Structure 1
Amino acid sequence: MAKETLIQHNAADYNVAVQTIKDAILRSQYQAAKLVNREMLSLYYGIGRYISSNSREGFWGTGAIRTISERLRKELPGLKGFSESSLKNMRMFYEEWSPVLEASYSTSSISPIMIGEIETTLLLSSKSTITIDNLELFGNLSFTHHIRILNGEKDVNKRWKYIRLCLENKWDTRYLQQQIKDNAADKYGAMPSNFGVTIKDSRDAIKALNMFKDEYLLDFINTEEIGIRDIQDIDERVVEKEIIHNIKKFIMTFGRDFAFVGNQYHFEAFSEDFFPDLLFFNRELNCLVVVELKTGNFKPGYLGQLMTYLRILDDKVKKPHENPSIGIVLCKNANKDFVEYVIQDYAKPMGVATYRLSEDMPEKLREALPDVEELKKLL
């Protein structure tokens, strides 16, 4: 018996030891990966500065960058990432970020900060929103992501926002490019809501505000494929059905850390039955999120309906360790100023977002897109 207890005790100790060492290895690998990325960014920034100073000032002739790239490949066989276009991207990387990252120390009382070997200072310009956190994020994003952002967005504040969104949501470069085209930087944090007055912890309120966009493109809902000729004829149940059918795509569109709980989720209060359209749980916010779908313009009565759902969810469904539930009205059109005006009197955290379908895109843009059937044949 004593021997059996000892074996169990040793097994428990081994489990703890394995988990401890495993966590340490994973943390070390993560830190090493971050350091490698920062070192690469530092290298590319330095090369970009060198190429910029020589090519822009006229020291090098036409075709110099191509020649240098070819010579590098000959002298370092197997070298990747230093093609002519890559070297030009490094130059752009330096030229676009150097006015933001570099400043003379004499004009600022803030000490220089190191990103790899890049020595930078924080600018005190009203045109930029640089913080130590931003600089930390800057060094964690891949060079390819940086180039996508620099090519797609010119506003420095939006560039910082895309850097943060990429890292928080783990966007790949293709998805990042689509988000830039959709101007997502202006949409995250822009949804009219009452989070600021209904969520007690200001950090949680900011998290909630940054979790949702003010408009979503539900381009996976094709009214022609589901037999609806007039987009005005589409109703909530059709939208809901298509969302459920494409739930993975909807969650990817909606945001990060969402888990689908159910649609037409049934709960009861005082012998009354209720069926909210869509119910999710968000791990980051640690709360239930109910989404009510509306195909027309926003109406104040939608908030009253949502308020009822949230009260019952918090009383009957929410777990003790979870935060209060959040409600989102997802409708076709909404006057933001009007929503902000009426939503503040409600005691539960709610917001109103709008959505677009593929049919809402400009006709010229839709005509430029390949036909679905042609794509299927190609695939």
Structure 2
Amino acid sequence: MNTTEYLSIIENIKREINAAEYRAALHVNADMLLLYYDIGCVINEHKTWGSKFIDNLAADIRLSFPKSKGYSVRNLKYMAKFAETYPEREFVQQVVAQIPWGHNIVILDKVNNLEERKWYIKNSAQNGWSRNVLVHQIESSLYQRQVLAEKVSNFENRLPSPQSELAAQTMKDPYVFDFITFKEDMLERDVEQALVRDVTRLLLELGTGFAFLGNQYHLNVGGDDFY
């Protein structure tokens, strides 16, 4: 048996298993979100029955499905808000179902604009944000800084389109490093050390396309050393 070939086969199989498990998880998540959406629609159709309807519904679901979680009064109210916020079921299936229910609750609670909601949904799915990261990005106004703010750069003059547009889209204005306690007489070295201490939050703020390779890089320019 060729050891190199065998190891390659094993790696390929493991990748296939991971991919299949991920697709299965996405499918389960989508089914659950559509179920929550349908329940929310039913609740909204019977608003005239008052708040007791939701209380009774939660109690009856708990009796029929004692091992099932997610059907508390609070969660049923979120389902109603979910269905009211997104009136098109197809939109829920194709866009909103990309992220978990907990992420959707965060966006429902903290974001009011539909375009902004869509942006956070898309970026949560693409970047694999956890719920805590999503909360941090919303509370630091990432959408406003990434999408709405006027970005000052010379990319349009220095880079051909569409590279100039892509480069501009990667910029935020301004960057928020409020996790560092700044002092008036702070030296560059102190700022660097503070950023390295909080490297995870720094990389979240910098966004896609950045990785921490080291905090010093040696450059020799004209015989002089710079770091």
TM range (shorter): 0.7 to 0.9
Map of 1:234 onto structure 2 = 186
Q: 1:167 to 1:236 in 2, by over 3 A?
A: same
Map of 2:139 onto structure 1 = 181
Decide which of 94, 118, 130 is 1:160's aligned counterpart: 118
The structural deviation recorded for 1:17 is: 2.9
Map of 2:78 onto structure 1 = 89
The structural deviation recorded for 1:199 is: 4.4
Decide which of 38, 45, 49 is 2:41's aligned counterpart: 49
Decide which of 51, 54, 64 is 1:75's aligned counterpart: 64
Whether contact under 8 Å (2:98, 2:121) holds in the other structure is no
Q: Secondary structure at the match of 1:77?
A: coil
**1:216 to 2:168 alignment:** no
Q: How far, CA to CA, are the matches of 1:274 and 1:12 in structure 2?
A: 43
Q: 1:40 to 1:207 in 2, by over 3 A?
A: farther
Map of 1:362 onto structure 2 = none
Residues 1-55 of structure 1: per-residue CA shift (max 9 Å, x gap): xxxxxx33xx344333323322222221111111111111111111111110111
Map of 2:223 onto structure 1 = 271
Q: How far, CA to CA, are the matches of 1:142 and 1:184 in structure 2?
A: 20
Q: How far, CA to CA, are the matches of 2:74 and 2:59 in structure 1?
A: 12
Q: How far, CA to CA, are the matches of 1:93 and 1:75 in structure 2?
A: 24
* 1:265-304 mapped onto 2 (5 Å cutoff): 265-275=217-227
Please, what TM-score do these two structures have when normalized by structure 1? 0.53
Amino acid at match of 1:174: N
Map of 1:148 onto structure 2 = 106
The structural deviation recorded for 1:207 is: 5.0
**1:23 to 2:15 alignment:** yes
**1:260 to 2:224 alignment:** no
Q: How far, CA to CA, are the matches of 1:52 and 1:178 in structure 2?
A: 31
Decide which of 152, 160, 166 is 1:192's aligned counterpart: 152
Residues 233-276 of structure 1: per-residue CA shift (max 9 Å, x gap): 3333321232233333322332245322334532123334433x
Q: Structure 2 unaligned runs (5+)?
A: none
Whether contact under 8 Å (2:195, 2:202) holds in the other structure is yes
Q: How far, CA to CA, are the matches of 1:72 and 1:135 in structure 2?
A: 24
Q: How far, CA to CA, are the matches of 2:60 and 2:212 in structure 1?
A: 54
Q: 1:90 to 1:262 in 2, by over 3 A?
A: same
Q: How far, CA to CA, are the matches of 1:81 and 1:240 in structure 2?
A: 45
Q: How far, CA to CA, are the matches of 1:241 and 1:12 in structure 2?
A: 43
Residues 111-133 of structure 1: per-residue CA shift (max 9 Å, x gap): xxxxxxx345xxxxxxxxxxxxx
Instruction: Indicate the RMSD between aligned Cα atoms, in angstroms.
Output: 2.6
**Greater strand percent: which structure?**
1
Q: How far, CA to CA, are the matches of 2:138 and 2:167 in structure 1?
A: 21
Whether contact under 8 Å (2:176, 2:205) holds in the other structure is yes
Q: Structure 1 unaligned runs (5+)?
A: 1-6, 103-117, 121-133, 224-230, 276-379
Q: How far, CA to CA, are the matches of 1:257 and 1:75 in structure 2?
A: 49
Q: 1:177 to 1:75 in 2, by over 3 A?
A: same
Amino acid at match of 2:99: L
Q: How far, CA to CA, are the matches of 1:34 and 1:206 in structure 2?
A: 32
Amino acid at match of 2:221: A
Whether contact under 8 Å (2:34, 2:93) holds in the other structure is no
**Greater helix percent: which structure?**
2
Q: Secondary structure at the match of 1:32?
A: helix
Larger Rg: 1
Q: How far, CA to CA, are the matches of 1:23 and 1:145 in structure 2?
A: 26
